[in-house]
Chain A
Amino acid sequence: MSASRSAGLLLVAPALVLVMALFVYPLTYSVVSAVSDPAGGVGAANFIKAFELYSGDILYTIFIVVISTILTGLVSIAIAGYLTMGETPWLVSGLAWLYRWPLFIPFIVAAQCMRTFLAKNGIMNNAIVAAGLLEPDQTISLLDWRGIVITFVWKQVPFVAMLLAGAMASLDRATIEAARNLGASRLRCLVEIGVPQVAHTLMVGLVLSFVTMLSVLSVPMMVAGSQPTMLTVDMAFRINAYGDYPVANALGVISYLMTAITAWFYLRYSLRQHRETLT
């Protein structure tokens, strides 16, 4: 028994050591560097400086990531709901084939696509003009926070929708059929019967999307202008231009805190679910 336990630990050890050394150690280092005062000891000097310089960007980042996450959730629920309850076969298969395309496209490629797609004279505006909905000089460039939100939603919706579609497919159809028989519309079935049952999967997908969006450097750099910009770009600039590790790390800790708040909501929800199933 103990031989197999130590054998197991030995087998897992190399992989664990790599994660500890190359991720947990720099992570801890960044937190330590952020809270250390230039005069020695612990202090909030770096955070104060970070807020002075980047408070606008912090709010900008929170705003973009929260809106993107909410939109991703809504669109994914709509897509997964239609895939589960759609009554037009060709529309369901068309949707199922289309929605997965952005899934395997890396963020840097998506950023490049959107740079030209959303520009003032990009394909999207050209199509709108060709359809006669706008005059050529009325087109607007979406290459600002709206472009970043669109890129994030475009990239994350297939992932969350796929998780939700899988979860909804394994729901007991009887619950939905019963509601339909009693006259509920499909939208009502989705909102009151489908979504509550897949809420756990939805939260997992949204939390993962939230963290992913806070880690992306390519999209804010390539899709939007430089003022204001997201925290990832600020961190990169702080290091490359000034070599100012403490303040950059302070920004990093702020992004960890954003993630931690989201994770806290998820844990609270999970614990409540757990307690409800136990009692």
Chain B
Amino acid sequence: MTRPLVRRAPVARMLSGAVKAVLLALFAFLIIGPLANLVLWAFAERWYYPFKLPVTWGVRYWEVVFRPTGVAMASLATSVSIALLTVLVALVLSIPAGYALARLRLPMRGLIMIAFLLPQAFPGVAVYVNLARIFYQFGLTGTIPGVVLVHAVHALVFSVWITSAAFAAVDRDLEFAARNLGAPAMRAFLTITMPLAAPGIFASAIFVFLESLDEFTGTFFVGVPNVSTLPLLLYSAGMGGNYQIASITALILLAPSILFMLVVERFLKADVLGRIGR
């Protein structure tokens, strides 16, 4: 931060302070306003024009959403189980891949890194549409494994790139020291490399979990008609005009994301972040 080069009169400074406060408040309204709107709708039982705030407040719709036999609980369970399976698939594939990219000499390494970037480099709707058609021939549409595969491919770039950066950040001398003392390669990997790379791997797992939980477009094409995830529920409630249920579902979807945002700094350290993409 630079020091002001010119001292201004106290009145001018107070006025400019007031202007800055107004600008910040306006910015806060634009950023937080839409989110606050969700909270208002979640606790509104009846709200219609011309009232500026809900007419009746209440938690009636929360009871509707959290009813054990309700559709929302089933969608939440489906979403979470799909997300956990996606994390499993992504980790199983990207821990070996990340290690190979970080430690071993690979031919066409740059090309391989770019190959993983492809799912994020092309608009995905056309790809999902054709993938759904291919899955239909194999009987994978409307099944959980089908949706897990779609989520895994979409999130693989985060998984592979971050895992690769996490392994690259582990000091090789520590591995060499263990090997020097006679540890076989696998033991050195499991007891030295993995624990040191674990925070970065955990961060990539969380990214994959969130991407899967929030994924809408792929699930829209591959998951119908049987698989109902929270984003799909949010979409049908929102389009159906039931803003209360849509808002409550949105808050449920937001909770893990916001939690992650608040704790991410613990897991993604600067030296790992700096190596992503190399």
Interface residues in chain A, defined as those with a beta carbon under 8 Å from any beta carbon in chain B: 1, 4-5, 7-9, 11-12, 14-16, 18-20, 22-27, 29-30, 33, 85-89, 91-92, 94-95, 98-117, 121-124, 126-127, 129-130, 136, 154, 176-177, 180, 186, 208, 211, 214-218, 221-222, 231-232, 235-236, 239, 245, 248-249, 251-253, 255-256, 258-259, 263
- Pick from B2, B104, B220, B257: contact of A4, CB under 8 Å: B104
- Pick from A88, A122, A129, A232: contact of B125, CB under 8 Å: A232
Q: Is the CB of B253 within 8 A of A109?
A: yes
Q: Report the 5 A-B pairs with minimum CB-CB distance, sorted nearest first.
A: A252-B126, A106-B214, A8-B104, A113-B34, A104-B257
Most buried by B among A109, A216, A249: A109
Give the residues from 13 to 72 in chain B that come closer than 8 angstroms, CB to CB, to chain A: 17, 20, 24, 27-38, 40-41, 49-50, 52
Seed contacts A8-B104, A217-B216, A218-B231; 5 additional CB < 8 Å A-B pairs = A16-B97, A89-B1, A113-B38, A249-B129, A249-B130
Q: Is the CB of B123 within 8 A of A87?
A: no
- Smallest CB–CB gap between A110 and chain B, Å? 7
- Smallest CB–CB gap between A223 and chain B, Å? 10
Q: How far, in angstroms, from A63 to B168 measured CA to CA in the complex?
A: 42
Q: Is B153 an interface residue (CB 8 A)?
A: yes
Tell me the interface secondary structure of chain A in the complex: helix
Q: How far, in angstroms, from A215 to B2 measured CA to CA in the complex?
A: 41
- Smallest CB–CB gap between A54 and chain B, Å? 14
Q: Is the CB of B124 within 8 A of A215?
A: yes
Q: Is B74 an interface residue (CB 8 A)?
A: no
Q: How far, in angstroms, from A25 to B149 measured CA to CA in the complex?
A: 14
- Pick from B33, B116, B121, B131: contact of A15, CB under 8 Å: B116
Q: Is the CB of A112 within 8 A of B149?
A: no
Q: How far, in angstroms, from A242 to B39 measured CA to CA in the complex?
A: 39
Q: Contacts A11-B96, A154-B34 given: A19-B156 contact, CB under 8 Å? A: yes
Residues of B within 8 A of A214 (CB): 123
Q: Contacts A101-B32, A109-B234 given: A11-B130 contact, CB under 8 Å? A: no
- Pick from A5, A14, A23, A251: contact of B93, CB under 8 Å: A14
Q: Is B208 an interface residue (CB 8 A)?
A: no
Residues of A within 8 A of B100 (CB): 7-9, 11-12
Residues of B within 8 A of A117 (CB): 33-34, 37
Q: Is the CB of B210 within 8 A of A176?
A: no
Q: How far, in angstroms, from A123 to B51 measured CA to CA in the complex?
A: 10
- Smallest CB–CB gap between A84 and chain B, Å? 8
Q: Contacts A15-B156, A19-B115, A106-B216 given: A98-B31 contact, CB under 8 Å? A: yes
- Smallest CB–CB gap between B245 and chain A, Å? 11
Q: Contacts A8-B100, A11-B100 given: A217-B220 contact, CB under 8 Å? A: yes
Q: Is the CB of A107 within 8 A of B216?
A: yes
Q: Is B177 an interface residue (CB 8 A)?
A: no
- Smallest CB–CB gap between B50 and chain A, Å? 7
- Pick from B30, B52, B112, B125: contact of A215, CB under 8 Å: B125
Q: Is the CB of B37 within 8 A of A116?
A: yes
- Pick from B97, B112, B127, B247: contact of A27, CB under 8 Å: B127
Residues of B within 8 A of A91 (CB): 20, 24
- Smallest CB–CB gap between B243 and chain A, Å? 6
Q: Is the CB of B29 within 8 A of A232?
A: no
Interface residues in chain B, defined as those with a beta carbon under 8 Å from any beta carbon in chain A: 1-5, 17, 20, 24, 27-38, 40-41, 49-50, 52, 92-94, 96-97, 99-101, 104-107, 112, 115-116, 118-131, 133-134, 149-150, 152-153, 156, 160, 210, 214, 216-217, 220-221, 231, 234-235, 238-239, 243, 246-247, 250, 253-254, 257-258, 260-261
Most buried by B among A15, A18, A88, A263: A15
16 A-B residue pairs with Cβ-Cβ distance under 8 Å, sorted by A, are A7-B100, A7-B104, A16-B112, A18-B93, A27-B122, A86-B1, A87-B2, A101-B35, A109-B234, A112-B38, A116-B41, A180-B2, A217-B220, A239-B129, A248-B126, A256-B122
Q: Is the CB of A116 within 8 A of B250?
A: no
Q: Is the CB of B123 within 8 A of A232?
A: yes
Q: Is the CB of A245 within 8 A of B130?
A: yes
Q: Contacts A26-B127, A130-B52, A232-B125 given: A19-B116 contact, CB under 8 Å? A: yes
Q: Is the CB of A253 within 8 A of B126?
A: yes
- Smallest CB–CB gap between B129 and chain A, Å? 5
Q: Is the CB of B156 within 8 A of A85?
A: no
Q: Is the CB of B33 within 8 A of A124?
A: yes
Q: How far, in angstroms, from A222 to B234 measured CA to CA in the complex?
A: 11
Residues of B within 8 A of A124 (CB): 33
Q: How far, in angstroms, from A258 to B125 measured CA to CA in the complex?
A: 14
Most buried by A among B37, B210, B261: B37
Residues of B within 8 A of A126 (CB): 52
- Pick from A88, A136, A255: contact of B123, CB under 8 Å: A255
- Smallest CB–CB gap between B157 and chain A, Å? 9
Q: Contacts A5-B106, A95-B24, A236-B125 given: A22-B32 contact, CB under 8 Å? A: no
- Smallest CB–CB gap between B176 and chain A, Å? 15
Q: Contacts A95-B24, A222-B238 given: A112-B35 contact, CB under 8 Å? A: no
Residues of A within 8 A of B126 (CB): 27, 30, 235, 248-249, 251-253, 255-256
